[in-house]
Chain A
Amino acid sequence: MHITVSRNNILGAVQRCQNVVERRHTVPILSNILLRASDDDLTASATDLEVGIRARVDASVQEAGGTTVAARKLFDVLKELDADADVELKTEDGFLRIASGRSRFKLATMAPDDFPDVQEESGGVAVRLDGADLAAMIASTSFAMSTDETRKYLTGTLFELDGDGRLNLVATDGHRLALMRRNLGQPVETCQSIVPRKAVVEIRKLCEDEPGQVELRIGERQIGLNAGGCTLVSKLIDARFPNYADVIPVNNPELATASRAELDQILRRIMIVANEFTHDVRLLLRPGEMVVSAHNTDQEQAEESLELDYAGPETEIGFNARYIRDVLGVMKGDAVRIHFRDGLSPVLLDESEDAAAQFVIMPMRI
C-alpha cells in the first residue's frame, strides 16, 4: 500500500475507529486499525467484535493494498502532524512508514488477513432521518440506560419502529425510563432491537458530526448506520425489552408545572445533605407551592420551597434527586410538567402536551 491523503481527513476517520477499539482486548489484532487503499480512497476500520466501524476518505492511491497498525499510536501520530499538510503512508517489510513535512515515522504492522471483517447483515428495515434528530433522540434518552450487567437487557437502548410510522427510543434502568418518539412521515415495518450502550454512544457521535441525513438499518441481529462516509454496525442485545408502554402513566390525575431551572437549582442545593448514595429527597406538593427537603443519617437537614402551578391535594413524594435532575438536564424548555397520582405510583415528566419526550420515575419509599 502506498497512498497520500490529507491529514485532516485521515485523522477524522482514524479517530472514529479509535473510539471503537477496546484498550485491552484479548485478541491482539483488535487493538489495530485496518487500512485498505483501492482506486481513489482509503478505508479505515476497527471492531471489538461487538461494534464495528468503517470510515472512507479520499486518497491518492499510488499502490493499492492494506495493513493493520496500532490504533492508538496511529491516532497519536496523526494528531501531532501539521494540520494542513498531506500525509504519505507506505507499507514496507512489516512496517508502515508515515511521512509528512519533515516528520518520519515507522510503525509496526500486523497482516491484514487476520483482521475480522466488519460485516453488514443483509435485510432489515431501513429508515432515513436527519442525523441531528437522531443524535438529539439519543441525547434525551441514553442517560437512563442501566449499568447493571446482571440485567443485560437494560444496558442498552430500545430502537423501535412502531405501527404509526414512528421511531421510538427507550432507555430504562428499571427505576426510571426515558422515551422519545419521532415521526418518520412514512409507514414502516415494525421492529424492536436493543442496541448496546457502546453502539448507542458511537451512533450519537457519528450523527452529531453529520450535517445531513443518515440511514439507520435495523436487522434481526444487527443495527447499522450510514452517516456520510462512515458505516457502523453493532450486534444487538439478544433479549426481550420489558413492555415499556405498561409503565408509562397515561391517566395520572394531578399536574404541577414548575420552572425547570429553578427546580434544578433547588435540587442541587438540597442534595448536599441528602444521603450521598441514595440521594433521597422529599417533594411536598400543595396548592401553589412545592417544598423540597432532605435529611441524612447524621440528622443534617435542608429545605427549600418554590412557587409552582398546582391546585390539587397535598401530596408527598420521595425521589432519588439524581433521577429528576437527569431529566431536567436533557429538557430544553422553561417549564417542567409533573404528572402524578399519589406518593407511590410512577410519575410522568414532560415539557408540554405534544412533547416528543416522556420521562417516568418510580418514587422512592422514604
Chain B
Amino acid sequence: MTSRRVILHVDMDAFFASVEERDRPELAGRPVIVGGRAEARGVVAAASYAARRFGVHSAMPMRTALRLCPEAVVMPPRLPRYREVSARIRAVFSRYTPLVEPLSLDEAYLDITESLGLFGGAEAIGRRIKADIRAETGLTASVGIGPNKLAAKIASDLDKPDGFVVAPDDLTAFLDALPVSRLPGVGRAAQAKLDRLGIRRVRELRLAPASRLEAAFGARAATRLAALARGEDNRPVTSDREAKSISHERTFAKDVEDAGILRASLLAAVEEVGFRLRRLGRTASGVELKLRYDDFRTITRHRKLAAPTDATDALWGAARQLLDASWSGRPVRLIGMGVDRLGERVSQPELFAAPSPRPRVDAAADAVRERFGAGVLRRAAALQKRDQR
C-alpha cells in the first residue's frame, strides 16, 4: 500500500536569533547568539547567519563561540516568546493540512498529499507557506518538498537560509551527488568512518557492498545507512491528533536537587501537556513521569487515573504524586511528563463533589495562551526565580 505521498519540511532560519533580531531592529546584521551564559556552561541555542560566518554554530559551548566571535551580541533565550511565534507558524501550517508533525519550535513535517488539489500543487503550497510566515512573523523559513520525510528534510537544508528546494520523485540522482554528511543521522563520527572506507558521496555509500558497511558499523546501522543512501523512508507524518500520547520534557542547564524547582518544572510541563490535550479535544486516563538523573539513568513511572480528564489540576495531582513517590533525591538532569490512554472529550463527573470551577480556569488560561503565547499566564507554583532556571 505505497501510495505516492508529498511531504513538506519547514525549517525556520536561525529561529531564536531571528526572533531576537526582529524584536530589536538595532541588532540587524550584527552577529547574534542566543544561548546560556558561558559561566554557567551555557551552549549556543541559535546563531544568526552573521555569527555563523565566524564559525559559530548551535550546540557549541558559549565559551568557544565567544572566542570565535568576540563581538557577538549574546542574548538569553526567551522560550515563551519563541513558543508564541512558533504557535503562529503552526497556525499557518494548519491552513494547508491537518497532518502536521512538529519536531521542535522551529521545524515541522507536513503531509500535504491530500491538499495538493486544493491549493494548486506542492510548489504552490510551499511558496504560500513561506510567504504567509514572512508576512505574519517577519521571519524567513526554508522549505523542502519530497516524496518522504528524508527527502523533504534534506531538501530544506540544501539552500538555507530562505531556501526552497523540491526533490524529484526519483531520489537516486538527487541524492547521489550529495556528500554523505547531508544525510540526517550521519554525524561527524559516522562521516569519519565512511571517509576511511573511501565513501564521501551518497552514490558511493549506495553502491558500497553491504559486508563492508556491516564490518564498519554493525548490521543494524549498516542497513539503516544503505536505506538512507537509497532515499528510503516510510515513516508517516503523525500529528498530535493521532498521537497515542502527549508529552513534554525539559533538560536543566544545571542538574537540579531542589524539590521546589523540580515541582515547578513539572507543573510547567503539566500545563503545556494539558493545553495540548484540550486543544486536541481529548482526555487522558494515564499519566507518566520521566526523570533522568545526573548519571543519565532514566526512570519512567506510570499511573492510571480513576477517570479520564483533560483538567490541568487532575493531571498535576497525579504527576506530583509520581514525583513524590519516585524521586530518589539524586540530582536531576531532565524532567518530563506525558499523558496517554487518550480518548474523546468525555468526563466522568463525581457523585459527591459540587461541579468544579476548574474547567473554566483551564479554558480561560488556554484562551490567553492561544492569543499571547505560553508563559504569559500560568499557575504561580510553576514560576521559578530567574536564577533557578
- A174 in the interface (beta carbon within 8 A): yes
- A54 in the interface (beta carbon within 8 A): no
Q: Name the residue on A nearest B347 (C-beta).
A: A365
Question: Are B352 and A174 in contact (CB-based, < 8 A)?
Answer: yes
Question: Are A150 and B317 in contact (CB-based, < 8 A)?
Answer: yes
Question: Are B285 and A366 in contact (CB-based, < 8 A)?
Answer: no
Contact A280/B351 with A150-B317, A174-B306, A175-B306 known, Cβ cut-off 8 Å: no
- B349 in the interface (beta carbon within 8 A): yes
User: Could you tell me which residues of chain B, from 169 to 196, have a CB within 8 Å of some CB in chain A?
Assistant: none
Question: Are A150 and B348 in contact (CB-based, < 8 A)?
Answer: no
Question: Are B344 and A320 in contact (CB-based, < 8 A)?
Answer: no
Question: Are A365 and B346 in contact (CB-based, < 8 A)?
Answer: yes
Question: Are B346 and A277 in contact (CB-based, < 8 A)?
Answer: no
- A66 in the interface (beta carbon within 8 A): no
Question: Are A173 and B306 in contact (CB-based, < 8 A)?
Answer: yes
- B342 in the interface (beta carbon within 8 A): yes
User: Could you tell me which residues of chain B, from 308 to 327, have a CB within 8 Å of some CB in chain A?
Assistant: 308, 317, 321
* Complex interface: chain A residues within 8 A of B81 (CB): none
* Complex interface: chain A residues within 8 A of B285 (CB): 277-278
User: Could you tell me which residues of chain B, from 262 to 301, have a CB within 8 Å of some CB in chain A?
Assistant: 282-283, 285-286
* Complex interface: chain B residues within 8 A of A177 (CB): 351
* Complex interface: chain B residues within 8 A of A150 (CB): 317, 321
- B387 in the interface (beta carbon within 8 A): no
Q: How far is the CA of A365 from the CA of B307 in the complex (A)?
A: 12
Q: How far is the CA of A242 from the CA of B352 in the complex (A)?
A: 7
Q: Name the residue on A nearest B318 (C-beta).
A: A150
Question: Are A362 and B349 in contact (CB-based, < 8 A)?
Answer: yes
- B70 in the interface (beta carbon within 8 A): no
Contact A172/B342 with A148-B306, A150-B321, A278-B285 known, Cβ cut-off 8 Å: no
Q: In whole Å, how far is B340's beta carbon from the nearest beta carbon of chain A?
A: 9
Q: How far is the CA of A105 from the CA of B373 in the complex (A)?
A: 73
Interface of B is mostly: strand
Q: In whole Å, how far is A273's beta carbon from the nearest beta carbon of chain B?
A: 12
Q: How far is the CA of A364 from the CA of B286 in the complex (A)?
A: 18
Contact A146/B306 with A275-B343, A297-B343, A365-B346 known, Cβ cut-off 8 Å: yes
* Complex interface: chain B residues within 8 A of A174 (CB): 306, 350-353
Interface centre among A148, A276, A346, A360, by most chain B C-beta atoms within 10 angstroms, is A148
Interface size counted on chain B using CB atoms at 8 A: 21
Contact A175/B348 with A277-B341, A278-B283, A278-B285 known, Cβ cut-off 8 Å: yes
* Complex interface: chain B residues within 8 A of A16 (CB): none
Q: How far is the CA of A277 from the CA of B285 in the complex (A)?
A: 7
Question: Are B283 and A175 in contact (CB-based, < 8 A)?
Answer: no
Interface centre among B347, B349, B351, by most chain A C-beta atoms within 10 angstroms, is B351
* Complex interface: chain B residues within 8 A of A277 (CB): 285-286, 308, 341-343
Q: How far is the CA of A147 from the CA of B305 in the complex (A)?
A: 10
Q: How far is the CA of A344 from the CA of B349 in the complex (A)?
A: 9
Question: Are B348 and A320 in contact (CB-based, < 8 A)?
Answer: yes
Question: Are A275 and B344 in contact (CB-based, < 8 A)?
Answer: yes
User: Could you tell me which residues of chain B, from 209 to 258, have a CB within 8 Å of some CB in chain A?
Assistant: none
User: Could you tell me which residues of chain B, from 328 to 363, have a CB within 8 Å of some CB in chain A?
Assistant: 341-344, 346-353
Q: In whole Å, how far is A303's beta carbon from the nearest beta carbon of chain B?
A: 16
* Complex interface: chain A residues within 8 A of B286 (CB): 277
- A247 in the interface (beta carbon within 8 A): yes
* Complex interface: chain A residues within 8 A of B308 (CB): 277-278
Q: In whole Å, how far is B283's beta carbon from the nearest beta carbon of chain A?
A: 7
Interface centre among B283, B306, B341, B353, by most chain A C-beta atoms within 10 angstroms, is B306
* Complex interface: chain A residues within 8 A of B307 (CB): 175
Contact A297/B341 with A174-B350, A174-B352, A365-B349 known, Cβ cut-off 8 Å: no
Q: Name the residue on A nearest B342 (C-beta).
A: A297
Contact A362/B344 with A148-B306, A277-B285 known, Cβ cut-off 8 Å: no
Q: How far is the CA of A150 from the CA of B318 in the complex (A)?
A: 9
- A318 in the interface (beta carbon within 8 A): yes
Question: Are B341 and A364 in contact (CB-based, < 8 A)?
Answer: no
Q: Name the residue on A nearest B306 (C-beta).
A: A148
Q: How far is the CA of A296 from the CA of B285 in the complex (A)?
A: 15
* Complex interface: chain B residues within 8 A of A320 (CB): 348
Contact A176/B344 with A148-B306, A278-B285 known, Cβ cut-off 8 Å: no
Interface centre among B286, B317, B321, B350, by most chain A C-beta atoms within 10 angstroms, is B350
* Complex interface: chain B residues within 8 A of A363 (CB): 349
What 0/1 pattern do residues 255 to 287 of A give for CB contact below 8 A with B? 000000000000000000001111010000000
Question: Are B351 and A247 in contact (CB-based, < 8 A)?
Answer: yes
Question: Are A280 and B350 in contact (CB-based, < 8 A)?
Answer: no
Q: In whole Å, how far is B341's beta carbon from the nearest beta carbon of chain A?
A: 4
Question: Are A364 and B350 in contact (CB-based, < 8 A)?
Answer: no
Q: In whole Å, how far is B240's beta carbon from the nearest beta carbon of chain A?
A: 12
Q: In whole Å, how far is B19's beta carbon from the nearest beta carbon of chain A?
A: 35
Q: How far is the CA of A277 from the CA of B307 in the complex (A)?
A: 9
Q: Name the residue on A nearest B317 (C-beta).
A: A150
Q: In whole Å, how far is B299's beta carbon from the nearest beta carbon of chain A?
A: 20
Q: Name the residue on B nearest A242 (C-beta).
A: B352
Q: Name the residue on B nearest A248 (C-beta).
A: B351
* Complex interface: chain B residues within 8 A of A172 (CB): 351
Q: In whole Å, how far is B183's beta carbon from the nearest beta carbon of chain A?
A: 35
What 0/1 pattern do residues 95 to 127 of A give for CB contact below 8 A with B? 000000000000000000000000000000000
Q: How far is the CA of A176 from the CA of B342 in the complex (A)?
A: 22
Interface centre among B342, B346, B353, by most chain A C-beta atoms within 10 angstroms, is B346
Contact A366/B344 with A150-B321, A277-B285, A277-B308 known, Cβ cut-off 8 Å: yes
13 sample A-B contacts, Cβ–Cβ < 8 Å, listed by A number:
A175-B348, A177-B351, A278-B343, A278-B346, A278-B348, A280-B343, A297-B282, A346-B351, A362-B349, A362-B351, A364-B346, A365-B348, A366-B344
Nearest 8 interchain pairs by C-beta: A275-B343, A277-B285, A277-B341, A366-B346, A278-B343, A148-B306, A278-B308, A242-B352
**Chain B contact residues, CB within 8 Å of chain A:** 282-283, 285-286, 306-308, 317, 321, 341-344, 346-353
- Please name 16 further chain A to chain B contacts, defined as beta carbons within 8 Å, in addition to the given A296-B343, A362-B350, sorted by A numbering: A146-B306, A148-B306, A174-B350, A174-B352, A175-B351, A247-B352, A277-B343, A278-B343, A278-B346, A296-B344, A297-B342, A344-B349, A362-B349, A365-B347, A365-B348, A366-B346
